[in-house]
Amino acid sequence: MHTGYHARIGHAADIPINDSTPVLSFSPVVLSAPGRPVELQMRVTVPSVGAALPIILLSHGHGSSNSLSSLEGYAPLYEFWAAHGFAVLQPTHLSSAFLGLQAPAGQDLFWQARAEDMVRILDNLDAVEAAVPGLQGRLDRTRVAVAGHSLGAWTTSMLLGASNTDPRDGTTWYKPEPRIKAGVILAGVGKGGADISEAGKIRIPFYGGRL
């Protein structure tokens, strides 16, 4: 793990942060997922010491990479967060090229399943702790955040309370997850509704939602 100086860090070096600690990264953690095409696999990365660890659920994007858009990606990000005191839980969503699955009609990019993955993880934190050596009893389940990149940013928005009305049939998705207290949106598609980005309109056909 590399958490020290980087020549391109720029002014980010001036942001005050706590000292880093070595991290432990464990994968795959596999959760049984009845009704899902495959079991839910994730990477869990935590600081090597400490208790009452706040949780970050990390949702990957939908890039064409065969591995990076999965539990195998985002190493600098999850390692940094873990080194500074967070437990990072990083699933492989069904949309990942890693799996090579095709979404059913009406479930473009498995968009509903992505949010459901995060809820399933929160429902099964006992199993997550039991699967990772040295993690038992170290998670603070009252402090949960979600972070997502690109399509993962849309997943993050939905979990935080964005609604989504599909213009094709008028159905609305609105299922905020109350256990999630904060979120980070990285390279999102826009504010939603009429304010969504042009890239978002091209990639996401169900853009009638609002934040």
Q: Is residue 145 part of a domain?
A: yes
> Which residue is associated with the tokens 């169900």?
206
Where does residue 153 rank: exposed (0-12), middle (13-18), buried (19+ CB within 10 A)?
Answer: buried
Looking at the domain assignment, is residue 9 inside a domain? no
pLDDT tens digits, residue range 124-136? 999 999 999 999 9
- 99 in any annotated domain: yes
Cα distance between residue 151 and residue 149, in whole Å: 6
166 assigned to some structural domain? yes
Between residues 201 and 32, which one has the greater pLDDT?
Answer: 32
Q: Is residue 5 part of a domain?
A: no
CATH number at residue 123: 3.40.50
Torsion of CA 107, 113, 116, 121, to 10 degrees: 180
Q: What is the pLDDT of residue 200?
A: 60
> In which domain, by residue range, is 196 found?
25-203
Q: Per the structure, how many domains does the chain have?
A: 1
**What pLDDT is attached to residue 208?**
44
Confirm whether pTM is higher than 0.85. Answer: yes
